[in-house]
Copies of this chain bind each other. A is one copy, B any other.
Amino acid sequence: MVSCTSISDAYPVEAQLLRTFVAVARLGSFSGAAVELGYTQAAISQQIAALESDLKVPLLNRRPVSTTEAGARLLEHAEELLLRLDVARADVTRMTQPPAAALVVGATPLAAGSSGLALALSALRRRRPRLDVTVQVGARANVLTSVARGEFDVGLTDGLTAPGDPLSEFSSLTAVGISQAGVAIVLSCDHPLAGRAGLRLSDLADARWIEASDVTSPLSEIRRLAGVDGFRPAFRYDGSDTMSLIRLAAAGHGLTLLPETALPPTGISAVRVTSPRVVHRVDFVHGSLREGSPAAELAALLAPRG
């Protein structure tokens, strides 16, 4: 046991380099990231080189572009870090502005549809008739970053989880589960399984599936939960409208997995998934809530529900 002297040195890692790295890693392309970030391709190359020489580790494999092991590790940290930077900026900036006469709610399509959002908003508008409420529907990642940046006051995201729930993947945002529902597979009426009471996900590994990652969980996620391979996309739906997706599935273009709460009460043939035990959960996500703000009131309205 020796007494300690504190050491402190130069610390070059700068945020812009991380932003660029994340963009390149996500897009799998230097030139793509250049367009997205408004730089030239050469600048991107230089920034990545700077980051790699700073950390003294190759972060990306080139041609095709993919993350190295170290790069993957950095990516995890970087995404969280940049999100938190956004939270910090939003949090501080908010303090200058007047106490928000409007409420902007971001939501993924299924979160907007299921969960008590519509009811909670009704209750809120009853209590604050003059409040200007906006709901914006978008992909999960966009909802999260927009909430982090303060563009949305709060967000609702959804996803599949095992009934025992971890999922607090971003430590800079607070997430609370506000509703859970079973999940079901939408089938065409003439499908052999139609009418069954329940089914096992793994039995459908070889069926034709619809990849609709803007609406429901991507097939890769379903594959992971089922624990078996398969679930290959036979059809791709890029829209964000739930009803259209249901119609496509009902018309036999492929299977899709949705929470039971998202299904229309009649006219659609759907079978409950009984194994594995997964639930569709809606999470209420927010940064720091200001006492008495509309966002805080909405949180209170949503929280107590099961």
Please measure, in the bound complex, the distance between the C-alpha atom of A91 and the C-alpha atom of B80, giving whole angstroms: 14
Q: Is A266 an interface residue (CB 8 A)?
A: no
Q: Can you name 30 A-B pairs with beta carbons within 8 Å?
A: A1-B112, A1-B135, A2-B137, A4-B106, A4-B136, A4-B137, A4-B142, A6-B138, A6-B139, A6-B146, A7-B146, A7-B151, A8-B36, A11-B19, A11-B86, A11-B89, A13-B88, A14-B16, A15-B15, A55-B92, A55-B93, A70-B92, A70-B95, A70-B96, A73-B95, A74-B92, A77-B84, A77-B91, A81-B84, A84-B84
A55-75 vs B, CB cutoff 8 Å, 1 = contact: the mask equals: 111010000000001100110
Which residue on B lies nearest to A82, using beta carbons?
A: B11
Size category, A interface: 35 or more
Which residues does chain B contribute within 8 Å of A16, judged by CB atoms? 14
Is A301 close to B, CB under 8 A? no
Closest Cβ neighbor of A81 among chain B residues: B84
A293 partner residues in chain B, CB cutoff 8 A: none
Cβ of A87 within 8 Å of any chain B Cβ, yes or no, is yes
* A:28-87 near B, CB below 8 Å: 36, 55-57, 59, 69-70, 73-74, 77-78, 80-81, 84-87
A240 to B87, CA, bound (A): 37
